[in-house]
Structure 1
């Protein structure tokens, strides 16, 4: 929007959060986005290494430490949707290493940026106070910490979703090839990072369609600006880049999402708690967002659609195919925070800040729990480190290690390999590694008894708690272990059983 038009628009009560000129001087532009960014950085760095890498992060680590050629093969086999993120992490790990801090730091920075951009988008659509409160609320949500402290693409997708929306608003208000190019780049990056996040396009399409009615174009109400249709060619690069990836990922759905069920209507009721990582905070967020939408009126169109349309589209798709996973929708949380910020901006700033602090306090139990483990329920951690420490302390030359089950989403071999590296015992049954297969699971010896011949001791790593570990191993592997070895000692660690077998 031009300078004169912009001033006229902001001067009207409908486009302001009713902050007085003196109050506006108390909210300098930098503080509006910097305060949420710094708070997010402080909160998400706190306890960053408290939870061990969990199964999904172990998959990220395994993929990121493979060669580019092996990454391409992996994408063609099972994980095409996450392939671009793995490639990004491959470059990052080459520079920063593969410690827990290094693996999670990109997500921390992405969530920090998302908080800042949420505040800026809130200022564009609802005013300075609403933007500040939206960003601060986002910083204190348990979900912000949860996905900032995870080496997966959800934090980056959240950042790009808000960035693309902010660039769209700017491009609609002041159309130009530079702004539309920036929007196109952000949208393409969003699709490559998280395919399902492209459902945000539905919200953007609605915003473009009625932009002149909600004051998002320079033409003003009742005077559509035809330059808004530059949106169509801006969307084209994302479609062209993502379409081949989506086709490959579609054919892999049976392997990648075999654990997901068809969605039920009742699943919608648990979604707020799922995306906020806290039922009570999720309920508070929804209530505030509804109040904020009512207060904003037409200006709630973009953030409201950015919440409702992705949720609705994924739900409808989930009725036919197993796609409904709450964390896939984490990218809508900033838009809910924006609406909530608009509701909080209706009262004096101290009152709004008090509600933000209350939300933070309500989420403290979940904040503490997620820094203990990323598994669900939080009371069921998987202690790869505990098992690795026992092996490291007592292993001898010639020892071997065996995993059961091998083809498990717990990735027992990745967990022990990450903890011990080259210090781990020889994987006696391994015939082809996961990287060599272009897969997430390795291949094992078809004749376990022959492969274990000559091995004096075996470290058997089992998922779950077992009082008779040998009886828990099925098939030829179990028979070979029972025939050739006896149990010497058993260690129980959360989620795992470690057994030392002696011939």
Structure 2
């Protein structure tokens, strides 16, 4: 039986009815709000800017420098061949080689495929720095800090190199975000995530452990609980230990690193002073971890430690501590945010962008911006040589040929015993000095590709055997200098 409806009299107020489904007007959470749009912009605008700047001139006019040539060639080896190589050399770059191996297996995109992971990594860094800046000092400071990232000359450079340094920056940025999360909210999951990201950064390049140390200093300066960070750091170091022990047996690969020169010290000093000056202009902090306590250790400590240890063992190379740019960008963004008017902020930002992109950015995208160019060397060898000519490298490093074997195919490599891939080495193996001396006189002309003066020499005796035989039985027909390489054609007397 249907219940009678309840009547509403004038003495009893009516109960307003509520729709079962909220109307459009009652669902403000489903519509973008200015606050939500601003939060998205802090990450998206820097990321899109970084992608645009990174893709600009990404091919660098078809140039390729020797470190990238190594990455390109090794990444095209089979998985077992890469493992064989890492047991002998370059274990510190192993994870990056496997990553690029997967990229090329999916897309044979040449130089773009080689460098695109670095472009995307800088975009992830810019987005993360923007979010960090918003969290530490506010949305405008975060947006400005994120936009600083792709404008820094160092970040522009390594966004377009097929090496691991930009990827380390991205992981360090998001590891820093997880550090803040753990320091402010705690929880095992947050600290476990922090440890996993930092371990990935260290496996991509071992010197990322210096960023881990900088994070420890941040925790101490912020007076947060040290124990959770220490546990995570211990786990990271334990996970890194096997790679560190293996790479220690391959330390001869960094024998080329010399003591820091005056320009290294000056660059570090100016950058550190700029960061400290910006720290004095920063706005008040928004959380328990202060901007200066986070940014200054990242900026100063990793590079400072490597420089301080140089008298014992020179290991300082600026790209090894590229992630210090995270701290610099955060400090510059916060300082720009303190300018008294919005017009001054816009003017200063546009001036900085023009300075970074117009003269400096164009130069960074030119072949001459790197210390060598294997494609230019290959063109010169092809122009200076003929079919049947002999070929020698002194020292025996064959980085010039790794990614550009075609121009050398018509030449007879007189010293080569086993190719790089077949021997499980970076540059292949050579025959004995005695066999080199026996092979060379049979050639009428020999093209010699050698490093210019100042590069590490050949301590095996093979280089001396090559040069002694050339001087004794051949004469110089012509020489050409191409970036860091010198190409000389030798011929038997009277055959130039």
In which range does the TM-score fall when normalised by the shorter chain?
0.7 to 0.9
TM-score, scaled to structure 1? 0.77
Secondary structure of the structure 2 residue equivalent to 1:431: strand
Give the counterpart of 2:41 among 31, 38, 44: 31
Shift of 1:256: 2.3
- For residues 384 and 265 of structure 1, the distance between their equivalents in structure 2, rounded to whole angstroms, comes to 29
2:446 is aligned with 1:458: yes
Matched residue, 1:145? 156
Q: Secondary structure at the match of 1:333?
A: helix
Q: For the Cα contact (< 8 Å) 1:157–1:193, is it kept in 2?
A: yes
Alignment of 1:122-161 (within 5 A): 122-161=133-172
Match of 1:234 in 2: 232
Shift of 1:453: 6.0
Deviations 1:444-483 (A, max 9, x none): 3332243346545433334449xxxxxxx96332344455
CA distance in 1, matches of 2:452, 2:405: 21
- Aligned equivalents of 1:206, 1:499: Cα separation in 2: 53
Conservation of the 8 A alpha-carbon contact between 2:296 and 2:327: yes
Deviations 1:240-295 (A, max 9, x none): 21112222333433x1222323458985432267xxxxxxxx58953653334575
Q: In structure 1, how many angstroms separate the alpha carbons of the residues matched to 2:115 and 2:247?
A: 25
In 2, Cα distance between equivalents of 1:62 and 1:168? 37
Partner residue in 1 for 2:352: 359
Q: How does 1:312-461 map to 2 (within 5 A)?
A: 312-347=304-339, 348-363=341-356, 364-373=358-367, 382-392=372-382, 397-403=387-393, 405-407=394-396, 411=397, 413-421=398-406, 424=409, 425-445=411-431, 446=433, 447-452=435-440, 454-461=442-449
- The 8 Å contact of residues 289 and 337 in structure 1, kept in 2 or not, is answered as no
Instruction: Decide whether the 8 Å contact of 1:262 with 1:320 is kept in 2.
Output: no
> How far did residue 35 of structure 1 move?
0.8
Higher mean C-alpha displacement, 317-326 vs 384-393: 384-393
Distance of 1:423 and 1:304 partners within structure 2 = 49
- Name the structure 2 match of 1:10: none
Instruction: Kindly state the Cα deviation for residue 386 of structure 1 after the two structures are TM-superposed.
Output: 3.4
Confirm or deny that 1:478 pairs with 2:447: no
Give 2:22's aligned residue.
none
CA contact (8 A) 1:262 1:322 kept: yes
Question: d(CA) in 2 for partners of 1:437 and 1:462?
Answer: 22
1:307, 1:336 within 8 Å by CA — same for their partners in 2?
yes
Unaligned runs of 5+ in 1: 1-22, 214-223, 274-281, 466-472
**Which stretch has the larger CA shift, 26-35 or 122-131?**
26-35
Contact 1:54 1:374 (C-alpha < 8 Å) held by counterparts:
no
* Structure 2 residue matching 1:163: 3-state secondary structure: helix
SS in structure 2 of the partner of residue 66 of structure 1? coil
Once the two structures are TM-superposed, the CA of residue 494 in structure 1 deviates from its matched residue by 4.1
1:147-183 CA distance string (max 9 Å, x none): 1111111101111111100112123333344433321
Q: Is 1:304 equivalent to 2:257 in the alignment? A: no
Whole-angstrom CA distance in 2 between matches of 1:301 and 1:24: 30
CA distance in 1, matches of 2:262, 2:387: 56
For residue 322 of structure 2, give the secondary structure of its aligned residue in structure 1.
helix
TM-score (norm 2): 0.78
Q: 1:250 aligns with which of 233, 241, 248?
A: 248
SS of corresponding position for 1:461: strand
CA distance, structure 1, for counterparts of residue 178 and residue 318 of structure 2: 26
Quote the Cα distance in structure 2 between the aligned partners of 1:199 and 1:382.
29
CA distance in 1, matches of 2:151, 2:429: 44
Q: Which moved more, 1:476-485 or 1:129-138?
A: 476-485
Q: Does 1:289 align with 2:299?
A: no
Look up the SS of the partner of 1:28 in the other structure. helix
Please list every run of 5 or more consecutive structure 2 residues that lacks an aligned counterpart in the other structure: 1-32, 454-461
Secondary structure, in 3 states, of the residue corresponding to 2:366? coil
Q: CA RMSD in A?
A: 3.3
- Tell whether the 8 Å contact from 1:70 to 1:438 is kept in structure 2 after alignment: yes
Number of aligned positions between the proteins: 443
